[in-house]
């Protein structure tokens, strides 16, 4: 349950190890990604972070609605990579490792990653990540949007997701949530700065729950094929052996999977 004792911007920034972070905390916004993209277009610099305690128009991948009631942490982080040096698929996967490590540190619970960027505890999704790119003139930017179900909202999860969604904590702990937010930011900047050497890939593969499993391949929510997940390659594409023995390599921009 959500108490009135909420997280504060100072409680997060005082725990940060990364320099150059400018953090704004809001009680409610439409979507932290939408807001930060607007700020990026207007010239906001790398390191701007927006956190909201609820969103009225939270968005997920494939334009799906993302439940964003009080009880969760809704965060967007602005990166301004030098043009042509960033692969957003790799960044998305690195972000999944950053967030899953932060959740494990704050909660003491084991996490798994479902390709490409869902984070699960005991088989239930506790976090989704939506990376969105854009341009300001000739300069590109990336907004990394992270939605964490810290604890359940007063009304519970929507019917559509109640069987697949879970929470990081059983109750709302402001201090642990502040620790979690700071760790997410620190871990994300670490992975971003070390993206080129792909250090995150080992952890990503270890935590990938799909490997060796039978999966359904989905396009726009519809099952288009079935097979067994074989491996994650160095570009974070998923190799799958289809039931007809053909091997395909899936790119996260086109398809998703269901176990």
Q: Applying CB under 6 A, which of residues 121, 147, 149, 225 lies at the interface with ligand BTN?
A: 147
The reply on whether position 33 binds ligand BTN by CB under 6 A is yes
Q: How far apart are CA 52 and CA 38, in angstroms?
A: 16
The reply on whether position 81 binds ligand BTN by CB under 6 A is no
Shortest Cβ 197–ligand BTN spacing (Å): 26
Q: Applying CB under 6 A, which of residues 130, 183, 195, 250 lies at the interface with ligand BTN?
A: 130
Question: β-strand 256-258 against 247-250: which pairing, if any?
Answer: unpaired
The reply on whether position 133 binds ligand BTN by CB under 6 A is no
CA dist 230 → 204, 209, 217 (Å): 14, 11, 13
Q: How far apart are CA 79 and CA 93, in angstroms?
A: 15
Shortest Cβ 19–ligand BTN spacing (Å): 23
Q: Let me know: does 239 contact 233? Beta carbons within 8 Å.
A: yes
Q: Which helix (H) or strand (E) holds 200?
A: helix 200-207
Shortest Cβ 142–ligand BTN spacing (Å): 13
Shortest Cβ 196–ligand BTN spacing (Å): 25
Q: Applying CB under 6 A, which of residues 86, 128, 187, 195 lies at the interface with ligand BTN?
A: 128
Shortest Cβ 245–ligand BTN spacing (Å): 31
Residues in the chain: 259
Q: Let me know: does 187 contact 21? Beta carbons within 8 Å.
A: no
Which residues contact ligand BTN (rule: CB under 6 A)? Answer: 31-33, 55, 58-61, 64, 66, 74-76, 128-130, 145-147
């Amino acid at each position: 349950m959500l108490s009135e004792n909420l997280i504060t911007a100072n409680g997060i920034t005082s725990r940060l190890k990364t320099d150059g972070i400018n953090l704004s905390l809001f009680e409610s916004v439409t979507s932290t990604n939408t807001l930060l993209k607007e700020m990026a277009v207007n010239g906001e610099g790398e390191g701007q972070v927006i956190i909201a305690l609820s969103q009225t128009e939270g968005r997920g991948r494939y334009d799906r609605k993302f439940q964003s009631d009080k009880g969760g942490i809704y965060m967007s982080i602005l990166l301004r990579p030098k043009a042509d040096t960033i692969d957003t698929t790799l960044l998305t996967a690195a972000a999944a490792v950053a967030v899953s490590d932060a959740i494990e540190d704050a909660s003491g619970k084991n996490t798994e990653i479902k390709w490409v960027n869902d984070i699960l505890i005991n088989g239930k999704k506790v976090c989704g990540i939506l990376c969105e790119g854009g341009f300001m003139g000739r300069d590109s930017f990336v907004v990394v949007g992270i939605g964490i179900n810290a604890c359940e909202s007063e009304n519970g999860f929507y019917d559509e997701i109640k069987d697949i969604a879970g929470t990081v904590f059983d109750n709302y702990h402001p201090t642990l949530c502040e620790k979690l937010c700071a760790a997410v930011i620190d871990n994300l900047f670490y992975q971003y700065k070390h993206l080129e050497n792909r250090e995150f890939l080992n952890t990503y593969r270890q935590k990938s729950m799909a490997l060796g499993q039978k999966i359904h391949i989905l396009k726009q929510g519809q099952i288009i094929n079935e097979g067994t997940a074989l491996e994650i390659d160095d570009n974070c594409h998923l190799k799958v052996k289809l039931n007809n023995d053909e091997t395909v390599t899936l790119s996260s921009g086109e398809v998703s999977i269901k176990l």
